[in-house]
C-alpha cells in the first residue's frame, strides 16, 4: 500500500478524480485504522465552475480550496452532514474532488454510500478541515494490486442551481460497483 503524494494531487482535477477511483481512504481514530475504497468522486474545477464553492472567490470557507493540494476540505451541508473533498492542482486554483462513496474495507461501521454517510462512517468532521492527507493518521493510498477498473461518467448530483455546469459530466464511478450512491 503506497501513500499518494503531492505529485498525485497537483495534477489536473479531472485526472485526479478518475485516478482516485479504487484507491484507499485511511483514517486512524482511537488506534484503529478505518479503511474504505473510493468508488465514486466528483470534480469541482475552480472559480469558473459555478457548482464549486470556490466560484464565490476566496472566503473564510473556501480558503482551504485555494490552498495547497493534498489537503482535506471538509464542510457541513444542510446543517447536519459532513462532506469531504480533496484539494487539487497548484495552490490558488480553487479546485477539489468530492468523495461521494466508499466500499468498506476495514473497521467500517454503517453505510458509506453517499458523501454525508461516508464521513459519518469514517469519523470525518470539520475538525479535519485543512488536514494534510500526506499525514500518518489521515491519508489516501494506492492499493497493492490494481485490478482493471471501468469508469462511468455522469453529471454531478445536487447542483441544479449551477446553470449549464449542472449538466457537465464531472461525476465518476466504478462501473457495476454496489456501493455507488446513485446509478
Among 96, 158, 164, CA closest to 130: 96
Map residues 102-121 to x or -, x wherever contact with DNA holds by CB under 7 A.
---------x--xxxxx---
- Using the rule CB under 7 A, is 83 a contact of DNA? yes
Say how far apart CA 107 and CA 37 lie, in whole Å: 12
How many residues can be counted in the chain?
Answer: 183
Strand partners, 85: 73, 98
The contact mask relative to DNA for 17-46 (x = CB under 7 A, - = no) is -------------------------x-x--
Q: What distance in Å separates the CA atoms of residue 180 and residue 162, rounded to the nearest whole number?
A: 23
Of the candidate spans 12-20, 29-37, 53-61, 137-145, the one that interacts with DNA by CB under 7 A turns out to be 53-61
**Among residues 56, 106, 167, 175, the one that binds DNA under rule CB under 7 A:** 56
59 makes contact with DNA (CB under 7 A): yes
Nearer to DNA, 3 or 120 (CB): 120
Q: Per rule CB under 7 A, is residue 75 in the interface with DNA?
A: yes
Closest listed residue to residue 66, CA positions, set 43, 44, 46: 46
161 binds DNA (CB under 7 A): yes
For β-strands 24-29 and 2-3, DSSP reports them as unpaired
Give every CB contact of residue 132 below 8 A, 6+ residues apart in sequence. Answer: 70, 71, 138
Give contact residues for DNA (rule: CB under 7 A).
42, 44, 51-54, 56-57, 59-62, 75-81, 83, 85, 96, 98, 111, 114-118, 126, 156-159, 161, 181
Amino acid at each position: 500500500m503506497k501513500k499518494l503524494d503531492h505529485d498525485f494531487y497537483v495534477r489536473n482535477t479531472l485526472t485526479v478524480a478518475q485516478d482516485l477511483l479504487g484507491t484507499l481512504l485511511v483514517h486512524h481514530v482511537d488506534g484503529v485504522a478505518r479503511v474504505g475504497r473510493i468508488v465514486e468522486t466528483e470534480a469541482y474545477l475552480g472559480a469558473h465552475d459555478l457548482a464549486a464553492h470556490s466560484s464565490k472567490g476566496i472566503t473564510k470557507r473556501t480558503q482551504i480550496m485555494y490552498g495547497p493540494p493534498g489537503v482535506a476540505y471538509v464542510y457541513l451541508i444542510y446543517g447536519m452532514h459532513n462532506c469531504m473533498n480533496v484539494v487539487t492542482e497548484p495552490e490558488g486554483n480553487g479546485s477539489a474532488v468530492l468523495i461521494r462513496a466508499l466500499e468498506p474495507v476495514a473497521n467500517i461501521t454503517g453505510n458509506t454510500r453517499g458523501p454525508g454517510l461516508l464521513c459519518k462512517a469514517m469519523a470525518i468532521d470539520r475538525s479535519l478541515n485543512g488536514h494534510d492527507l500526506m499525514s500518518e493518521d489521515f491519508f489516501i493510498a494506492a492499493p497493492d494490486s490494481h485490478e482493471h477498473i471501468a469508469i462511468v461518467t455522469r453529471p454531478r448530483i445536487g447542483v441544479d442551481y449551477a446553470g449549464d455546469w449542472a449538466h457537465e459530466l464531472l461525476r465518476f464511478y466504478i462501473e457495476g460497483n454496489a456501493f455507488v450512491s446513485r446509478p
